[in-house]
Amino acid sequence: MAPKRVTADSLREMKANGQKIAMLTAYDCLMAQMIDEAGADIILVGDSVAMVFAGYENTLPMTMQAMIYHTEIVARCAKRALVVGDMPFMSYQVEPSQALANAGRFIQEARAHAVKLEGGRAMATTIRRIVRSGIPVMGHIGLTPQSVYKFGGYTMQGSTPEEAQALIESAKVLQDNGIFALVVEKVPSDVAARIAETVEVPVIGIGAGPGCDGQVLVAHDMLGMFERFKPKFVKRYAQVGAEMRKAFDQYVKEVKSGEFPDAEHSY
């Protein structure tokens, strides 16, 4: 029997019951299945795919076509987790009707269960429009990587009292406009904890400390596969990159020396 799918309602219940929410990214079937079977509640098909999978400098080159491709794969392969498609740069900022049409593609073509978009109160009208059409929206405030040029880098947000207050206000506005959950990225722990106490929707932190209702990491980061840089908030649970290098080196050596294939691997 197929496992019961995590929903926006069940996530809200988890927050109410003090149960922490585990979220990870995936861009392909194998990873989606492993993460799903491990019991993660949410799988985000993040636009981080641009950096950790496609090798771009930042997330800005990601297109709807590419995001739909990855999201369809993950949504087909994950049986329990709620699958969230990350709306790429310029797929929702132009105007609410453009955002709604693109959010609809994530649901209809890619079979995602929800979409995520970045931004604070400026996104309120857009979020309301999408939610009113029946599509669950996850918000994302704090460090929003699609604004990397505006921020001048991946800098911590909310570190002054004014910035912290603005983040709390943004969280309330997004909640009032219908988000079902909120990602808060790279803000001081006490600020994230205040946001989580203020709103009823689950707050999922990344670099936002233990006071959030759940946590998200990029799977390639926590596996030690993406090695180009490592923010302080990334805990490496494995050294998969190093293991892969070892295996590739060994394979190349054995092919060159004629050691592979041996009798055991030949017909």
**Residues found near ligand KIV in the complex (CB under 6 A):** 25, 44, 46-48, 86, 183, 206, 216, 218
Helices in 83-235 by DSSP H: which ranges? 96-108, 124-132, 148-151, 161-176, 189-198, 219-222
161: left (phi over 0), alpha (psi -120 to 50) or beta: alpha
Query: Among residues 240 and 260, whose Cβ is nearest to ligand KIV?
Result: 240
CB of 203 to ligand KIV, least distance (A): 12
Residue nearest to ligand KIV (CB): 46
CB of 128 to ligand KIV, least distance (A): 21
CB of 263 to ligand KIV, least distance (A): 45
Catalytic position from the list 72, 185, 254, 264: 185
SS3 123: helix
The question of whether 13 is a catalytic residue gets the answer no
SS3 214: strand
CA distances from 85 to 138, 212, 256, 264 (A): 10, 21, 43, 44
N- to C-terminal Cα separation, the chain:
39
CB of 260 to ligand KIV, least distance (A): 37
Question: 42, 234 in Cβ contact below 8 A?
Answer: no
Of the candidates 94, 88, 91, the residue with the CA atom closest to the CA atom of residue 56: 88
- What residues act catalytically? 185
